[in-house]
Chains A and B, each alone.
Chain A
Amino acid sequence: EIVLTQSPGTLSLSPGERATLSCRASQSVSSSYLAWYQQKPGQAPRLLIYGASSRATGIPDRFSGSGSGTDFTLTISRLEPEDFAVYYCQQYGSSTGTFGQGTKVEIK
């Protein structure tokens, strides 16, 4: 089973700053099958990025994804107040759909 490890656990930043979140897989993940989700308290997760770099419908272009193989990155170019949340990566190309443990982006 593929294990995803996200870092850092918590990212403390100010609005307007750039956020860089990492997701590392225990074995190679087809980049077609790596997704990122945003979750706010009391809400269901929301799909941001799929296929490692494609934005989901309605997602602002300040969100971008990159990477391949075992190393993937989610970048938020300029943090807006509504972007402070927890972010999860997920691989879904194998027979399982495992998630990383999450990165919390908090206001500094």
Chain B
Amino acid sequence: QVQLVQSGAEVKKPGASVKVSCKASGYTFTSYGISWVRQAPGQGLEWMGWISAYNGNTNYAQKLQGRVTMTTDTSTSTAYMELRSLRSDDTAVYYCARVLVGGVVVVAATSPFDYWGQGTLVTVSS
């Protein structure tokens, strides 16, 4: 069965970086992409971006451009999301989700997010 298992909770100071992992199993990793979504406490879902596990092409939300990097390691079927220059308003639960993506110049989804990780709480506090 398809599973996405994320790394554990993190506590970071403002200005630091965090890297969250998402290990996939139960499907052919390179046939799909991974999207990252975050949810601040008591708030809604915010799309952060996605990456093709086939070729590593990415598309990020405009508000996070320059601070976020998404990568994959096909040898371990693991996706990573790194967020830099952390601020208090980056405190949130971060989710990974499986998605079909395609395109070269612009990476776009062609499926909904059908499987999700369990979430990783990232707390930014001095």
Residue ranges of A at the interface with B (Cβ–Cβ < 8 Å) = 1, 33, 35, 37, 39, 44-47, 50, 56, 88, 90, 92-102
| Interchain CB contact under 8 A, A101 and B44 | yes
The total of interchain contacts (Cβ-Cβ below 8 angstroms) comes to 67
- B interface, size bucket: 20 to 34
Bound: A37/B112 CA distance, A: 10
Interface of A (DSSP majority class):
loop
- In the complex, what residues of A have CB within 8 A of residue B44's CB? 88, 99-102
Sample of 6 further A-B pairs with CB below 8 A, known A88-B45, A90-B112, A102-B45: A47-B112, A56-B114, A90-B113, A95-B103, A96-B47, A97-B113
**Closest Cβ–Cβ distance, residue B116 to chain A (whole Å):** 4
> Could you show 13 A-B contacts with beta carbons less than 8 Å apart?
A37-B45, A45-B37, A45-B116, A47-B114, A50-B111, A90-B45, A90-B113, A93-B109, A95-B106, A97-B37, A99-B44, A101-B44, A102-B44
